[in-house]
Amino acid sequence: MSRHSTRIATLVLAALMAIVLTACGGAAGPAVQRVDAGTAVAMLDARTVVDVRTPREFAAGHLAGAQNVDVEAADFASKVSSLDKDAPYLVYCHSGRRSAMAAAQMAAAGFTDIVDGGAMADLVGAGAPTQ
């Protein structure tokens, strides 16, 4: 399967999960909180921060202490499955689209405490440190 086909399959899967989660009573499920950038920045020290952008985007700059798990990579599900499902997480991306997708996938996989931090620029604008 080509990289393009894999990416399309990942997006289709995420869309289907979002539809199922919406039908079950919530856009991203009860495990996901969507908060404004200032609230997300205040939570950074108490959460594992996950940047779901591409490795190239991550290398160009990211929030301090963040780990990179590309939501559009074919191995996203296997990489997040190695994380503690009961730990608190904050996910972010470039614009908020991929963080919402990642949060929904994590919730569907059984993660219990996810904050969708949205766009990196908003988080940096609210005072999040970068590296």
Which residues neighbour 127 within 8 Å (Cβ) at sequence distance 6 or greater?
A: 38, 41
The CATH classification number of 3-125 equals 3.40.250.10
Q: Which of 93, 114, 120, 123 is catalytic?
A: 93
Question: What's the pLDDT score for residue 31?
Answer: 86
pLDDT digits (tens, 9 = 90+) for 105-122: 999 999 999 999 999 999
Q: Which residues pair with 89 in a beta bridge?
A: 48, 114
The pTM score is 0.78
| Surface-to-core class of residue 12, CB atoms within 10 Å of its CB (0-12 exposed, 13-18 middle, 19+ buried) | exposed
pLDDT tens digit sequence for 8-62? 555 455 544 544 444 343 444 578 999 999 999 999 999 999 999 999 999 999 9
Task: Provide the pLDDT for residue 29.
Answer: 53
- 24 has catalytic annotation: no
Q: What are the residue ranges spanned by the domains of the chain?
A: 3-125
Model confidence at 124, in pLDDT bands (50, 70, 90)?
very high
